[in-house]
Amino acid sequence: MPDIMNFDPNDKTPTIVDRLIRAPGVIIGVAVLLGVVLAVVLVAVWMLWGDAVRALLGSQLGLSIVIIAVTIGLMFSVIATSILFERKIAAFIQDRKGPNRGGFWGVIQPMADGLKFLLKEEFTPARADRPLFILAPCIAFIAAFIGFAIIPWAGEIHWPWMAEGETVTTQVASLDMGILYIIAVGGFGVYGVVLAGWASNNKYSFFGGMRAAAQMISYEVPMGLVLVVVLLAAGTLRPELIVNQQAETGIWNVFLHPLAFVLLTICAFAEANRTPFDLVEAEQELVGGFHTEYSSMKFAMFFLGEYAHIITGSALIVALFLGGWHVWFLPNVDDTVWWAALIKFAVYWVKIILFIVFYIVIRWTLPRFRFDQLMKLAWKGLIPMGLGLVVATGVLVALGWQRNVPANLIANAIVLGISLWYASRSPSPVTGRQDNLPEIEVRPSATT
């Protein structure tokens, strides 16, 4: 037994457990072991219930259920990894180490974070609206996890045991109004934030909720205009057809509408409440904003919902502008064999992960805007530019030049040039100082 009486709190000698969990060989060995166990289970299921598995994967309903399970599992895995990389990338930018105690390179730190959320005290303010207080994080969590249903993960698949010409799609649901669905689901998330701010009976939470409502409603307008640009050029609301169009022509929409891509990315940051648009939290002003009174798993649901919202938003941007699963030297639309679908699925997630890294880098690079600057950017900047892009795209569609790269780039350049010209002629100076603040009076010190 350890000598309790002679315990030295300053002793930094690592224990056996510390040495084990920090050893890279142990972490890699555990990961390999889990992979082998999963492979053995899959082989056993195929050997024992092969006919049932083939029938499940060969029907659209069965494959949609499998896609739901796989996607949710991947989303939770990517969320846990994103939490670690968020802190690691932040540490790299700030020239420090970041988490490095929970396993080799801190890889089991997300598990420690999850355990912490589970064990923290579950607290509800005495005067809070309890039903709404509990409902708010559930709405935010669910809204973030149902948007992926219309994402075309890997095109269509033709299994070897299916009849010639038969295929199933890797979308959970192929809707005629697919893009409108994801906009509606994304807008539904604002209710969770607003209800959390209202139900907490806390003025800082209430201010955060009101900011969230104003911010999300404002930035949904330019987001809708940008989506109109893509939909006009593609002629469809189905995301799978938009991806197929980019794959067949080999021209991603980002090369046709770079300015629209930038506007949509800015709006995605604002919709996810990520820095520099995290005015709904703003700890320097609002303590914690809408989630000030939340703790334990209710707070964790907001936390997980934010990262899930980032994943869904990234998946939408990848589908609309970055070719979805398409890469020029990899399988194309006509490749429907199962291994080609796996490659497409992997490519799609690689693009999402790269975009998540971009989210993280921006968070730790740019400072937070002031709220009036945030609203001014939407209403005086993004919305006029979005309207200009819609008009320009409409003209190109009328001329039949919607897939003409030089014509689209010229149209984007004209809209950007007009915007910069108008901004340069604005009588108000470009400053971070509010107009209604009093002038600073400089008085001589007593020593001068």
On whether both 384 and 398 belong to a single domain, the answer is yes
Shared-domain flag, residues 203 and 328 = yes
Distance in angstroms (rounded) separating the CA atoms of residues 253 and 258: 8
Long-range contacts of 21-26 (CB under 8 A, 24+ apart): 21/102, 21/103, 21/104, 21/108, 22/101, 22/103, 22/104, 23/104, 24/104, 24/105, 26/104
Residue 410's pLDDT is 92
**Do 361 and 418 fall into the same domain?**
yes
Residues 85 and 54 in one domain: no
Instruction: Let me know whether 406 and 330 are in one domain.
Output: yes
With beta carbons less than 8 A apart as the criterion, state whether 194 and 212 touch: yes
Q: How many domains does the chain have?
A: 2
Start-to-end CA span in the chain (Å): 70
DSSP letters, 127-185, are TS-HHHHHHHHHHHHHHHHSGGGG--SS-EE--TTSPTT--EES-S---TTHHHHHHHH
Domain identity same for 70 and 53: no
**Are 402 and 390 in the same domain?**
yes
Question: Token pair for residue 71?
Answer: 């996607």
Do 191 and 215 fall into the same domain?
Answer: yes
Residue 215 phi/psi, 5-degree rounding, is -65, -50
Are residues 32 and 121 located together in one domain of the fold?
no
Q: Is residue 294 part of a domain?
A: yes
For 29, the domain range is 16-58
Q: How many residues make up the chain in this entry?
A: 448
Domain assignment of residue 440, yes or no: no
Residue 1 lies in a domain: no
Q: Is the residue at 447 inside a domain? A: no
Task: Classify residue 118: in a domain, yes or no.
Answer: yes
Q: Which helix (H) or strand (E) holds 76?
A: helix 60-93
Report whether 115 contacts 306 (CB < 8 A): no
Nearest 5°: the CA angle 295, 297, 302 is 80
- Report yes or no on 10 lying in a domain: no
Instruction: Specify whether 44 is located in the same domain as 79.
Output: no
Same domain, yes or no, for 53 and 65?
no
pLDDT at 159: 86
207 and 81 in a common domain: yes
Classify residue 432: in a domain, yes or no: no
Query: What pTM, to 2 d.p., does this model score?
Result: 0.86
**Structural domain contains residue 436:** no
pLDDT tens string for the chain (448 positions)? 455 555 455 656 666 767 777 777 777 888 888 889 989 998 898 888 888 888 888 888 888 888 988 888 888 888 888 888 888 888 888 888 888 877 777 888 888 888 888 888 787 888 888 888 888 888 888 888 888 888 888 888 888 888 887 888 888 888 888 888 888 887 777 788 888 888 888 888 888 888 888 888 888 888 889 999 998 888 888 888 999 999 888 889 999 999 999 999 988 888 877 778 877 777 777 777 787 888 888 888 888 888 888 888 899 899 999 988 888 888 788 888 888 888 999 999 999 999 999 988 888 888 887 777 888 888 888 899 999 999 999 999 988 888 888 999 999 999 999 888 887 777 666 555 666 666 666 666 665 5
Point out the domain boundary residue: 28, 58, 88: 58
The residue out of 5, 32, 58 marking a domain boundary is 58
